[in-house]
Amino acid sequence: MSNSKKIVICGAGGFIGGHLIADLRRQGHTHIRAVDIKPMDEWFQKFDDVENLVLDLQEKEACEKAVERCDSIYNLAADMGGMGFIEANKALCMLSVLINTHLLMAAKKHGVGRFFYASSACVYAAHKQVNPDVTALKEEDAYPAMPEDGYGWEKLFSERMCRHFSEDFGIVTRVARYHNVYGPEGTYDGGREKAPAAICRKVIEAKLSGKHEIEIWGDGHQTRSFQYIDDCVLGTQKIMNSDVVTMPINLGSSEMVTINQLVDIAEGIAGIKLKRSHNLKAPKGVNGRNSDNTLIQKLLNWQPSISLQSGLEKTYRWIYDDITTNS
């Protein structure tokens, strides 16, 4: 994409949005508009050399203001968090459908060339994810539909909205199904954090307090793959700029681990061993989920490659520094 094109990042104050803008700036892009509902002092990263707007993108008028005179849109905006948040806030998650709907309508009105939508592995059918030794999920496994209640349904509906706006109105849409993105500059407490950040925080707190104990949600045998933020940002742009990716596509690591193994890695980084307790009543999501990367390898000759060990080390160090600096 030409560096002279106006790029709009929706959800710019969030974790992925902040990293995406940072990378676009590194590439020399100077026409960037950053949009988020949060007050700017709550943005994860903010940059004075981009156009920053605080707007509620659930509102139609706000979406029109956000996209006017732009060439491309990255829609990363959503009310979301880790499993604890999305299981307790299904209606709030569903209301994010207003963001994508109104952004697509505004994109059509203003003649926007390209539109990226950040979907989620939560769109995948529940019956495909009942065992920890899950077969990696292919893109077609989203149908027959039975996604994660609330959040997953909103994502799947919005995927279809992108498809039909492309078919009916000619907007070039691209959709990536994110699988558990983690890394520095992200949420690690407060209820919206995801497993890698939560585990790092718990291990750090146990080490600093001298109380070498950790609570794990579920029995710890549930499996996931976790994608480091740098891979996510690179893959997002590859998908957005591609002329061969025309359907929703997995964007995630294929390195599957159990939650207990994730704790093992964090303990190894910290140099401690903790006494574990398992909260079987806590939200834990599906029993198994992993990304089949056959399609992205075939179409883009690429897939996420940063190992969980390497990515978690960087994440742990950032969270440790943030906790010890601000405590």
The alpha carbon dihedral of 119, 175, 132, 261 has a sign of negative
Q: Which of 36, 15, 152 is nearest to 97 (CA)?
A: 152
Are 290 and 253 contacting, i.e. CB atoms less than 8 angstroms apart? no
Q: Tell me whether residue 151 is one of the annotated catalytic residues.
A: yes
The amino acid at 65: K
**Rounded to an integer, what distance in angstroms lies between the CA atom of residue 198 and that of residue 192?**
9
Are 67 and 55 contacting, i.e. CB atoms less than 8 angstroms apart? no
Q: Which of 23, 62, 18, 309 is nearest to 187 (CA)?
A: 18
Are 198 and 259 contacting, i.e. CB atoms less than 8 angstroms apart? no
The alpha carbon dihedral of 145, 297, 81, 202 has a sign of positive
Q: Which of 162, 115, 81 is nearest to 9 (CA)?
A: 115
- Strand ranges in 30-77 using DSSP code E only, listed in sequence order: 32-36, 51-54, 72-75
Three-state SS at 178: strand
Residues 6 or more apart in contact with residue 125 via CB below 8 angstroms: 141, 142, 143, 144, 145, 146, 147
Active-site option among 151, 178, 188, 316: 151
Query: Which pair of tokens denotes residue 288?
Result: 């198994």
Q: Which of 229, 256, 252 is nearest to 314 (CA)?
A: 229
The pairing of beta strand 51-54 with beta strand 32-36: parallel
**Neighbouring C-beta atoms of residue 45, cutoff 10 Å:** 16
Are 66 and 103 contacting, i.e. CB atoms less than 8 angstroms apart? yes
Active site residues: 151
